[in-house]
Structure 1
Amino acid sequence: MNTVIVYNHPYNGSFCHALLEAVINGAKKAGHTVDLLDLDKDKFNPVMTGQDLLAFRNHEAIDLQALDYIQRIKQADHLVFIFPIWWELMPAMMKGFIDKVIFPGATFTYTKSGYGMIGSLTKLKSTTVITTMNTPKIMYKLVYGNAIKKALIKGTLKKSGIKNVRWCSFNMVKASSDTTRKKWLIKVEKMFSQE
């Protein structure tokens, strides 16, 4: 099984980075191959240019890095997104990844009516979104409307035909103890080692 990880965090000392290592360790324990798309290390350009937008309209991606990412996620059995939530949403690089890689003609097609979408990632069995934030879970849900669930999970992934999506949110990270963080990391590694 091939696990493709899309990772976005600029600091290697972050809890996101620790979660990344836990996912990799767990997937390798399960005997999976791991392909890491590290947006920061790759210096991925998240900006959607006029040419990119025209390419979106014509259903033919042109950004060379995005084209490479598209080919790699097409090989995924399990797709994993890992990123922090800043100002209640994903960072710019992750948003740019969505804009330039979840692309018509590449990862999905439109139905005849033009209103629906059909996924093209036929090998993909499941997707996991892992996020960190300092907002309490109940506040994120009730005050900020579960923005990631609505915009990314429902409004992008499921809408474009990606099925079996789960979201693991780690909240109040700055206020959490070392013991709590270690428990979270063990939980994540175990989750991926049993897939």
Structure 2
Amino acid sequence: MKVVIVFNHPYQRSFCNAILNSVTNGLKKVNHEVDLIHLDNDNFNPIMTAGDLKGFRDKKTIDPKVLEYSQRIKNADHLIFIFPIWWELMPALTKGFVDKVIFPGVAYDYTNRENTRMKPLWENLKGVTMITTMNTPNWLYWLLFGNAIKKAMVMGTFWKIGFKNRKWISFNQVKQVSKEKREKWLIGLEQKFEKLK
């Protein structure tokens, strides 16, 4: 199985990087092929320009990096996002990736002339998984902030374009929990991704 990981965290010693290592180790233990898109290291430009918006209208992206990313994802069986939640949402690079790569003519197309129904163009993908970190308690993120990432990414993006197998793994209160608990989370993640099918 080929798995593409879209990763966004600028700090090499972050818990997100530890998550990336655990997920990668789990996948490689069972001989899955891992293709890492590291948005920070790639210096990905998240800004939607006037030219990008014209491309959106014409269903033709102008960013060569977007075409490269799309081709890599098109050949994948599973897509994983790993990023922190800052101020209840994803960082700018992840948001820019969604804006510029989840793009008509690239990631999806419309099934009718009224542009109301969508179909994925990444036809090989069997599933999408989000893995996030935050310091907000789970109940507070759900109750006060309405599970913003679930609504934006799991439902608002990937459900809309037609992917049925969508999962979100959220690690909450990362700074407040013990080192032992974080290590337990990482072991669990490695074991989970050893079983990815």
TM-score by length of 1: 0.98
Amino acid at match of 2:141: Y
Partner SS for 2:173 = coil
- Runs of 4 or more off by more than 3 Å in structure 1? none
Aligned 1:66-77 pairs, distance under 5 A:
66-77=66-77
Return the offset for 1:12: 0.7
Q: 1:78-157 residue pairs with structure 2 within 5 A?
A: 78-112=78-112, 113-157=114-158
Aligned-pair identity in percent equals 56
How many residues of Structure 1 are paired with residues of Structure 2 in the alignment? 195
Give per-residue Cα distances to partners, 1:45-85, cap 9 Å, x unaligned. 00000000100110011101111101111011010000000
CA displacement at 1:30 relative to structure 2: 1.6
What is the CA-CA distance between 1:28 and the residue it aligns to? 0.3
Match of 1:184 in 2: 185
Structure 2 residue aligned with 1:38: 38
Aligned-residue CA RMSD in angstroms? 0.7
1:178 and 1:18 map into 2 onto residues whose CA distance is 12
CA distance in 2, matches of 1:45, 1:106: 17
Deviations 1:134-155 (A, max 9, x none): 0000000010010001111100
Look up the equivalent residue of 1:138 and give its one-letter code: W
- Quote the residue 1:22 is aligned against: 22
1:111 shift after superposition: 2.0
Question: Deviation at 1:127?
Answer: 1.1
Any stretches of 5+ residues in structure 1 without a counterpart?
none
Paired residues of 1:3 and 1:34 also in contact (CA < 8 A): yes
The CA deviation string for residues 14-53 of structure 1, in whole angstroms up to 9 with x for no partner, is 0000000001000001210000000000000000000001
Cα deviation for residue 120 of structure 1 reads 1.1
**Equivalent residue number for residue 60 of structure 2:** 60
Q: Return the alpha-carbon distance in structure 2 between the equivalents of residues 21 and 129 of structure 1.
A: 15
Contact 1:121–1:162 under 8 Å retained in 2: no
Q: Which runs of 5+ in 2 are unaligned?
A: none
Structure 2-normalised TM-score? 0.97
- 1:116 Cα deviation (Å)? 1.1
